Amino acid sequence: MTYSPPFTLNNKIVSLVANISEQLGRLLATQSSEQSLLLRKVNRVRTIQGSLAIEGNQLSEEQITAILDGKRVIAPAREVQEASNALTVYEQLDSFQFDNEKALLLAHKQLMLGLIDSAGQYRSTGVGVFKNDQVIHMAPPEGLVPRLMNDLFAWLATSDDHPLIKSCVFHYEFEFIHPFADGNGRMGRLWQTLILKQYHEVFTYLPVESLISSHQDDYYKAIADSTNGTNSAPFIEFMLSMIEKSLQQLHHNNQAVEYVTPQVTPQVTPQVTPQVAALLKAMVSAQEKQQLSPKVITFKREELQQLLGLKDKKSFNQLYLKPALNEGVIEMTIPDKPTSRLQQYQLTELGKLTQKF
């Protein structure tokens, strides 16, 4: 008899699926290829930073971007290796078949390369999930893992459930089995992205992990509630709500790309303040006056303050510099040393897009 994971659908889940489908249709109709390419890189970094942060990695988006660009980052070697591996795996996402168990093992081998000896192999010992030194989940015995994973992939390949539902169920079941000695959280989130990618290309660069990172307690609670109830509905509901919020954020980012111009205004996007808009305008205007390539336009903090006619360092940092960095429209030239006296700032990919209008 074919295995089928236990789950039920409620009204909220059905409503979330409908809302997500509607948002996807709207994106497909309005998003340009230029926007897609720009947001793909920006959100890929956010995805990886969010997924690694859930597992305790402290690297910032700026540091991961630096690793992506081949720059040296001063940070714990293991954290840099984790980020480098994740960047490699996500770049190869198109080469993995979502319902192929061997593909999952290969992805895990690349994701955990140099981090554990058993990369690409199912665990050979028992394993538990801990939180604050307390066991919150004891995974099935190691001897059952191959059969459980085989059953799960057999269901994945034959299930006619909606891809949104199927991806959430697989993610939960994967975390319940906990098939690897390490890297289970990263792999579960990666494989859900891969399953969703078959449904809509936008999931390739939708940073759901970034939202999960900021809702970690709810994430683990949804897993625990599903386990206690022998029904993954709580986890399905949680993940769909994160997907819905990520799509809403992506819509706002699309608006940012659409409205960013050399005459940046406070209407750039609801998340961009008038101060950040003014900073962007000043940087773009300075670039135009000097006729510099966007690749070499960099500014010291003092120069940015001078461009804006501001004298108070603390006010500038709080109202202009930090919000602009958080929004991803500017970046540090030395991300691993935020307080370096040599630190300068430049437009990001999103900021550079202003030069095209």
Instruction: Report the top-level CATH class of 11-257.
Output: mainly alpha
Q: Could you give the CA distance from residue 159 to residue 181 in angstroms, rounded to a whole number?
A: 28
* Residues acting as catalytic residues: 178
Binding-site positions for ATP:
129-137, 182-189, 219-220, 228
Whether the pTM exceeds 0.75: the reply is no
Which pLDDT value is given to residue 278?
A: 85
Between strands 134-138 and 330-332, the pairing is unpaired
Which pLDDT value is given to residue 264?
A: 38
Which pLDDT value is given to residue 286?
A: 83
Domain ranges in the chain with CATH number 1.10.10:
261-356
Binding-site positions:
129-137, 182-189, 219-220, 228
Which pLDDT value is given to residue 356?
A: 44
Residuewise pLDDT in 10s, the chain (357 residues): 578 999 999 999 999 999 999 888 877 766 555 555 666 777 788 889 888 988 889 998 889 988 988 888 889 999 999 999 999 999 899 899 999 999 999 999 999 999 999 999 999 998 877 766 777 778 899 999 999 999 999 999 999 999 999 999 999 999 999 999 999 999 999 999 999 998 888 888 788 888 888 888 899 899 999 999 999 999 999 999 999 988 887 766 555 544 443 333 333 343 557 788 888 888 888 877 765 444 457 899 999 999 998 888 888 888 889 888 877 788 888 887 888 889 999 887 666 654 444
Strand partners, 331: 346
Which pLDDT value is given to residue 291?
A: 54
Q: Could you give the CA distance from residue 47 to residue 227 in angstroms, rounded to a whole number?
A: 26
Q: DSSP character for 332? A: E
The DSSP string of 118-181 is TTTS--SS--EEEETTEEEEEPPPGGGHHHHHHHHHHHHHH--S-HHHHHHHHHHHHHHH--SS
Say which CATH topology domain 261-356 has. Arc Repressor Mutant, subunit A (1.10.10)
Q: Could you give the CA distance from residue 153 to residue 218 in angstroms, rounded to a whole number?
A: 27
Q: Give the three-state DSSP class for 356.
A: helix
**275-309 burial, b for 16+ CB within 10 Å, e for fewer?**
bbbbbbbbbbebbeeeeeebeebebeeeebbebbe
Domain ranges in the chain with CATH number 1.10.3290.10:
11-257
Q: What Rg do the C-alpha atoms of the chain give, in angstroms? A: 22
